Amino acid sequence: MEPQEEKPIIYTMENKPIVTCAGDQALFSSLYTPLAQQLPREPVEWRRSYGRAPKTIHLEANFIQFKEEFLPKEGNKALLTFPFLHIYWTDCCDTGVYKAHVRDDIMRWHGTLRLHGSADWVIIVAETSNAKKKSKTNILPRSTLVDRIRNDFCNKQNDRCVVLLDPLKDSSRSRESWGALLLKLRTLLLKSFTQNLGRFEDDMRKLREKRNLPGWSFCEYFMVQEELAFVFEMLQQFEDALVQYDELDALFTQYVLNYGAGDGANWLGPFCSPVNSWTGLLLRRPIDMESRAAIRRGEASLLELRSYLFCRQCTLLIFLGRPWEVTQRALELMHSCVQELCLLEVPVVEGALDCWVFMSCLEVLHRIEGCCDLAQLEANRSHTVGLWAYATDKLKSLGYLCGLVSENGPQSEELNRTVDLLAGLGDEKPETVHSLQSPYKKLKQALSSVEAFERHYLELCHAAEEMYRAIGRMRSAWLVGKSLAEFYLRKGDPGRAEVFLQDALRSYLSEGWSLLVTHTRKQMAECQKRMGRTEDYLQTSVLLASDANLTIEERKHFCQEILIFANRSTDIKAPSACYPSTVQKVAISMNAFAQLMQVQFRPSTAVVHSGAALQVELHLRSLMPVAVHLEQLAVSVHFSLKQGGTDGKARETQSRPGTVLFPLGNSSVIPPSWAVAGPSLVEVQDHSPSDPRILSSAGVVCNNTHLVMRHNDSGPSTDMPSRVSPVHVAVDNGVQMLKTRDVTLLPGNNSIAFSAPSQEPGTYKLCQLCATVGHIQLVLPHISPLVQYDVYSQDPLLSVEPLTDTLLAGLPQRAKVRLETGHYTVKKGDALQLSNIDTMPILTAPSSCFSAAILDSTEELVGQCLLSIHSSEKVTRISLPPTPSHHVLEFQLEMLCVIPLGCDPPEDLGLNEGARHRLRRSSHPNEPMAIITQRMSVDCPWSIYTTPIFLTFHIPFKARHQLLSAGKRKYIQVCLQNVSGVNFRLTDLRLTETQQGPSLKLQSLNAKTQQLVCSQQSVYCVWDVGWKEDKPACLQCVFSANFAPASEKDPAFHPFNYEFQLERVMTLYTMRAEILPAAGEQHCRSGVLCGLEMSITRLVVPDDDEGKADEEGQTEEFPTTNTKLMYKVTDSSGSWAVCGRSSGLVSMPADANANHRVQVELMPLFSGHLPFPNVNVFQYLPNSASSGQPLTNSCVENNALPLPVLLDDQVDAASVPRLGSVRRTATGEQRSGGLHMPRLEPFRPGQVFNHSQGRQVLVLPSVDQHVLEMNAT
Amino acid sequence: MAVCIAVIAKENYPLYIRSVPTQNELKFHYTVHTSLDVVEEKISAVGKAMADQRELYLGLLYPTEDYKVYGYVTNSKMFRKLHNSFTDVMCNPFYNPGDTIQSKAFDGMVSAMMVQAS
């Protein structure tokens, strides 16, 4: 390259590959213009070695006249001046001329090229038709001349000689030959590129391989590789060019890193020399030739090399349209330069690098702004903002260094420093001399005076902050704001500083960065102290004193600040900068001072009766580093009357813990937005004031809806305003206070006890906690969650509770009487008066003493005493022992509920003073127990009203009776069922008559005298009934038994009685039925008619027995001579077919033993032992109109029967009420004077005895065997 | 080696932050906090592109003159170790998600990844 050094080569993008031209210069000159124009017109594909991707390029060339000195010598590394192609031009067409001159000329040219090893050449023969014509005769044919040239020079390389036909004519022939020529030239050029660049790259690689050998120089290598970059740039392959620079960059970086690791290369020596010049980057020229020259000479400093390299990279990146990469690389460059200088231990004047970085940042920004429009810039703020911020930072540190950020201005030492720094900047570069806003001028101005610095610095700061905000990098913006705050603080303007600090503090708080919060808060404290904002300063000091991020000394300092203020005497109005003369108390938030951990009530229910002692214990965790003496600690209490009565019982059902724990939300700096765990829910139950057991409403209340329902986007400022800047806390001077004086809060947990007021019944809510230290009141404005206690006033309450699950009637039962005294104090001589009830006597022996227990309100036994009881005829009087109020008196009473007589518990039994009975399902699934409710009236000393007390008793037994008959003989069966859950022992089962004068002989058929009857089991007892003389119309009997629980060892038996009555017990008729087989047969056969013969016999003569006439009621108006009976044969089993009439009337004479026989035809439908069909007998009462004409017919046809009764139907029990209904209609008609219908009257059970009940008859199968009936059931 | 390791909750508060040397702690806190700007930017940019195949490694977040801040998580062993240890912390039944990390094991692992303070 050396020979060309003096040549003015302009290293711009106008560089083109060099092509030399020899031969006929006139010819070339005439063809130059079309050639230079047409060459780049069409693209060619450049196939690359080493597998690099092929590229399409437009070739251009710089055609120069051939000179021998242009040919590169051995070892020349210059590529930019390398001639890639040599052309020899000739338009010779005369063999003679050729032989005489041209041939020699070409040979010389060719020889020179060969000497220099250049194989990239071409001979162009231009042929004009004019020339051809002119020498037509003695001219060899054209082809011959070209052939000769080819023969002479192009040894097997025929393509090295090209013919251009009529180059200046516009003919198709000419265009064609031009095209061929251009194609050839392009191909050859590319071939030359590939070859020469390939060779160059190989050489370069070899050179790089030697980099670890001594004597290798980075600068030399730099120049070599840069040549390659130049060529690529020349070919407009900027990407490839950039790669060359990046490789150089990486290589250099690697060496610096190696140096740092202790592996120093010799060539790095010059780069380690002290930095004398810190002119920033200069990006306004494509190539900084000065720096390049310095690099070539090996004299460049690190900053120079880096600057030059970056400048080249920047140029290429901008060519590539990637300006944002420039900004990013610029930041990286500056960071790495600072690091590299440090690694290489290069001595740098303090502040020099700041200057360099500052100017470089501005220069890069200027360069970017120069190549982008405003919209692009706006859209890519995120790429440039880093440079702005970096420049701001550097200017700031320069300002601090040069004493430009102090209230007093720079000192002489700082001024000297400024001068040194300015000296290193040198003179302004010519490119920027005329620019008013050049980085050079800016820096010089900024360093020139305090005011100029402030102007420049603020301008930069605001620009950076605004950009950060615009792109949403709020944290970065806050950080810039913070450094602004520091600046203002240094300048003595705390007011402005605080604004920025508050912004930052709010964000740090909301994001939970405790260390940053602490740091910012410390700065805030300084601002507030300087501004004399006492309250805020105290609040901040409290926060700092409790801040665990600070050392204990710092915390003590802030705590001391608080105490100093607090203990300032009121009369000494010491004028101080930070404490203006205030005498009134300053209220600040307690949150940071101490935390309320828990509130504990004693008793733990937090419910007491009025006047009772209630202790409230606060657990406070002091966050101060030292013990703090509180003059007073007070809790203000809000009192509200409890609506809905003063019944303490009802409130106790609400579960309220006696200890309220407070969540530790405010100690850590975890932001409140997620420190809130969730809704805090409280269950609320509202009980009916009249009956505490009845719940009138229930609900759930959320205590912290304002937190849970808060809109999340409402911004951080609303969250914790009190922690950013203290707000004024209102001290609640409530009427009622819990107070203690002179408390010393030690660091950590403290427990302070108060005794709470409890005079008035109602609800007391703890509202506010206030600690007084001198002039300072530390206030916890709201105690949350809600802490409250209740004071109630209770009326005396008397209740009687059974000791067992159920009270059983008929047995002595114990019940507990419980007297809750409430506000009433039982005095000596007070007594309970129980009205005596006959059906429920008090069994506790009168005039006796028994024990009673006295419990306090927490159900703890406090005493035992004796009670006396006195019974008179009407009342039972129980004397009560003196009992204090709000205590419980308990004793037991034994009582017996008498079981009422009677078969079924009648619903209307005596309610006047005694028992109320009603049937209901008891808990037992099997049988309901009848219950008796006893009402006891008690007169209490505290009330003029009588207190009713209801006790419910269950009857353990259930009795049923039944009359059984056998012909004329009668039996009574009683069933006694134990429906209780207890097993009983029974004795003395007895049946007695209640009528006057025993007319009956009752003979017990029961063998056992004692009987065990288990729960849900029954006992049956039977008596044979005989009578002495008169047959009673009605039997009135009482069943009695003694019972005792089977579990008792020494049983005391108690009676159980069951009274019942039986009517119409005598047997009037007997009925005997017989089935007679068909004549001549021994047995019945199915399908064959047989006869049913009924024989009805009267047993009692009605004349003899008036009672019977009475008994039969309606029959008395009938003549007693003949009684009409109606029989009816029915078959419910379906085994018989009644043929002919199935019912009929018979008239019974009034004689004893009068007999009547009736025959009915039947047909058995099946064979086997068939039960007899049913025969029912009814009393037939003809209508009164026809009563005068007794039926003469002894038998009446069924069909002719004038009864509105369908006797074809089965007559069963169900028919009876139907008949009854008929009868009622009949009587109704009777009253209206209508027809008297005849009617049927059923007999009572036992009045007709059926001898054939349950009999069966054998029926043989039918003789006719061809039908076999199969019944499968 | 790392000079500062921070685990940041998704609400942007530090779950864990440790740095050596400790005298620069405040500066590191500021740096980490400011880097969150870039994290947010990157995450939202990635979210727009493809939410599913989110590359967990965020790369270089915030180069400063002295240090470079990288975002979580990468395939490199360093971040994977950190991730595994963090997972262990999260699996601890006594750890309340969202609390700051006070695990000794995690501490030890972080220490191993950090520049040994001389």
Q: What is the DSSP string of A254-292?
A: HHHHHHHTT---GGGGGGGSPP--------SSS--HHHH
Q: Are the CB atoms for A124 and A21 separated by under 8 Å?
A: no
| A631-640, A1201-1210, B44-53, B62-71: range with lowest mean pLDDT | A1201-1210
Contact between chains at A671 and B36 (C-beta distance less than 8 A): no
Q: What is the amino acid identity at position A791?
A: V
Q: How far apart are CA A390 and CA A404, in angstroms?
A: 19
Model confidence at A936, pLDDT cuts 50, 70, 90, reads confident
Q: Which B residues in the span 77-96 are in contact with A, Cβ-Cβ below 8 Å?
A: none
Cα separation, A914 vs A937, whole angstroms: 11
Is the pLDDT at A733 greater than 80? The verdict is no
Candidates B22, B33, B41, B99, partner chain A, best to mutate (most A CBs within 10 A): B33
Mean pLDDT of A1177-1195: 55
Tokens coding A1016: 């849900």
**CA distance from start to end of chain A:** 130
CA distances in angstroms from A888 to A855, A881, A946, A1034, listed in the order given: 5, 12, 20, 58
Give Cβ neighbours of residue A1158 (< 8 Å, ≥ 6 apart): A1093, A1094, A1096, A1127, A1144, A1146, A1195
Q: Cα(first)–Cα(last) distance of chain B, in Å?
A: 14
CA-CA distance, A703 to A537, in Å (whole number)? 33
Verify whether the Cβ–Cβ distance B37 to A476 is below 8 Å.
yes
Q: What is the DSSP letter of A554?
A: H
Q: Which of A87-96, A655-664, A979-988, A1036-1045 has the lowest mean pLDDT?
A: A655-664
What CA–CA distance (Å, rounded) separates A501 from A521?
8
Q: Can you tell me the distance from the alpha carbon of A957 to that of A984, in angstroms, rounded to the nearest whole number?
A: 10
In which band, very low, low, confident or very high, does the pLDDT at A454 lie, cut at 50, 70 and 90?
Answer: very high
Nearest CA in chain B to A669: B13
Averaged pLDDT for residues A752-773? 84
Hey, are the CB atoms on A511 and B38 less than 8 Å from each other? no
Q: Closest Cα of chain A to B13: distance in Å?
A: 5
C-alpha neighbours within 13 Å on the C-beta side of residue A519: 18
Residue owning tokens 């210059």: A78
What does the alpha-carbon distance between residue A291 and residue A443 come to, in Å, rounded to a whole number? 22
User: 506-565 in A: which are within 8 Å (CB) of B?
Assistant: 508, 511-513, 515-516, 519
**Separation of alpha carbons A1089 and A1076, rounded Å:** 10
Across the range A1009-1017, mean pLDDT stands at: 86
Q: Which of A471, A473, A511 sits opposite B13 (nearest CB)?
A: A511
Q: Nearest by CB to A516, from B29, B40, B99: name it.
A: B29
Cβ distance of A472 and B37 shorter than 8 Å = yes
Q: Which of A869, A862, A865 is nearest to A893 (CA)?
A: A869
Q: How far apart are the CA of A339 and the nearest CA of chain B, in angstroms?
A: 7
Q: CB-CB: which of B30, B34, B63 is closest to A332?
A: B63
For A281, other C-beta atoms within 10 Å of its C-beta total: 27
> Is the predicted pLDDT of residue A921 greater than 60, yes or no?
no
Residue of chain B with shortest Cα separation from A337: B65
Local confidence band at A667 (pLDDT 50, 70, 90 cut-offs): very low
Q: Say whether the peptide bond before residue A785 is cis (omega within 30 degrees of 0).
A: yes
**Chain segment A315-366, per-residue pLDDT in tens:** 889 888 888 899 989 998 999 898 888 888 888 888 899 999 999 999 999 8
Higher pLDDT pick, A1220 / B15:
B15
Q: How far apart are CA A996 and CA A1241, in angstroms?
A: 32
Do residues A230 and A79 touch, judged by C-beta distance below 8 A? yes
Answer whether residue A231 shows pLDDT above 50.
yes
- Best residue in B30, B31, B44 for a mutation probing chain A (most A CBs within 10 Å): B30
What's chain A's average pLDDT?
Answer: 77
Give me the total of CB pairs closer than 8 Å, taking one residue from chain A and one from chain B. Answer: 59
**Chain A residues 1219-1258 with a CB less than 8 Å from chain B:** none
Please, are residues A421 and A352 in contact by the beta-carbon 8 Å criterion? yes
Question: Touching check for B60 and chain A: CB below 8 Å?
Answer: no
State how far residue A511 is from chain B, nearest Cα, in angstroms. 5
- What's the whole-model pTM score? 0.60
Residue A145, CA atoms < 13 Å, CB-side half-sphere: 25
State yes or no: pLDDT of B107 exceeds 70: yes
pLDDT-derived band at A680, boundaries 50, 70, 90: low
Residue A712 vs residue A1034, higher pLDDT: A1034
- Asked if A475 and B64 come within 8 Å (Cβ–Cβ), the reply is no
> In the structure encoding, which two tokens stand for residue A965, read together?
């008959």
B96 vs A663: CA distance, rounded Å = 15
> Residue A964 is which amino acid?
L
Name chain A contacts of B37, Cβ cutoff 8 Å. 468, 472-476
Count Cβ atoms below 10 Å from residue A211 Cβ, excluding itself: 15
* Res A583: pLDDT: 52
The angle formed by the CA atoms of residues B13, B17 and B23, to the nearest 5 degrees, is: 125
Under an 8 A CB cutoff, do A516 and B34 touch? no
Encoded tokens for A853: 């227990």
Instruction: Report pLDDT for A1192.
Output: 37
What confidence score (pLDDT) does residue A1150 get?
76
pLDDT at residue A379 tops 60:
yes
Q: Is residue A1222 pLDDT above 50, yes or no?
A: no
Dist CA A1078 CA A1087 (whole Å): 11
DSSP one-letter code for A493? -
Report chain B residues whose CB lies below 8 A from the CB of A670: 13, 98-100
Q: For residue A914, is pLDDT > 50?
A: no
A505 pLDDT band, cuts 50/70/90, is very high
Residue pair A307/A281 in contact (Cβ under 8 Å)? The answer is yes
What's the pLDDT score for residue A1184? 54
Q: Which of A338, A468, A668 sits opposite B65 (nearest CB)?
A: A338
Q: Can you read off the two tokens belonging to residue A1161?
A: 């035809």
Q: Express each pLDDT in A118-129 by its tens digit.
A: 778 888 888 776
Report which of A727, A701, A463 is spatially closest to residue A588, judged by C-alpha positions: A727
And the tokens for A275? 């930095």
pLDDT in tens, A399-427: 999 988 887 888 888 899 899 888 888 88
Whether the predicted pLDDT of A1175 surpasses 70: yes
In 3D, which of A941, A599, A610, A928 has the Cα closest to residue A787? A599
**pLDDT surpassing 60 at residue A461:** yes
Q: Does A720 touch chain B (CB under 8 A)?
A: no
Tell me if chain A has a CB within 8 Å of the CB of B52.
Answer: no
CB A440 within 8 A of CB A432: yes
- Taking an 8 Å cut-off on Cβ atoms, the answer to whether A516 and B33 are in contact is yes
- Residues with Cβ within 8 Å of A401's Cβ and at least 6 positions away in sequence, in order, are A350, A351, A354, A414, A417
- The pair of structure tokens assigned to A402 is 């040069």
The Cα–Cα gap between A212 and A572 comes to 81
Chain A: closest CA distance from residue B92 (Å): 20
What is the SS3 assignment for A108-151?
HHHHHHHHCCCCCEEEEEEECHHHHHHCCCCCCCHHHHHHHHHH
CA distance to partner chain A, nearest, from residue B79 (Å): 23
Q: Is A293 exposed, middle or buried (0-12, 13-18, 19+ CB in 10 A)?
A: exposed
Q: Which residues 455-484 of A have a C-beta within 8 angstroms of B?
A: 468, 471-476, 479
Confidence of residue A287 (pLDDT cuts 50, 70, 90): confident
| Exposure string for A1059-1096, b = 16+ CB within 10 A, e = fewer | bbebebbbbbbbbbbbbebeeeeeebbbbbebebebbb
- What is the model's pLDDT at position A845? 66
A291-350 residues touching B, CB cutoff 8 A: 331-332, 334-335, 338-339
Nearest-angstrom CA–CA distance, A477 and A471? 10
Q: Is B33 near chain A, with CB under 8 Å?
A: yes
Q: Say how far apart CA B113 and CA A702 lie, in whole Å.
A: 47
Determine which helix (DSSP H) or strand (DSSP E) holds A563, and give its type and residue range.
helix A552-566
Point out the residue among A476, A519, A671 whose CB comes nearest to the CB of B34. Answer: A476
What single string gives the DSSP state of each residue in chain B? -BSEEEEE-TTS-EEEEEESSGGGHHHHHHHHHHHHHHHHHHHHHHHHH-STT--S--EEEEE-SS-EEEES--SSHHHHHHHHHHHHHHH-TT--TTSPP--HHHHHHHHHHBPPP-
Q: How near does any CA of chain A get to the CA of B62, in Å? A: 9
Looking at residue B74, its pLDDT comes to: 46
Per the CB < 8 Å rule, is A334 touching B25?
no
Query: What CA–CA distances, in Å, run from A615 to A627, A641, A779, A819, A851?
Result: 25, 20, 22, 27, 34
A373: Cβ contacts below 8 Å, ≥ 6 apart: none
Give the nearest partner residue to B13 out of A338, A479, A670, using CB atoms: A670
Least Cα separation, residue A386 to chain B (angstroms): 9
Q: What angle do CA A175, A181, A187 make, to 5 degrees?
A: 135
Alpha carbons A1198 and A1036: distance in angstroms, whole number = 41
Task: Please indicate if any CB of chain A lies within 8 Å of the CB of B29.
Answer: yes
- Residue in A333, A483, A515, A720 to test binding to B, most B beta-carbons within 10 Å: A515
Q: A512–B30: do the CB atoms touch at under 8 Å?
A: no
The percent of residues above 90 in pLDDT, for chain A, comes to 8
Q: Distance between CA atoms of A1115 and A1032, rounded to whole angstroms?
A: 19
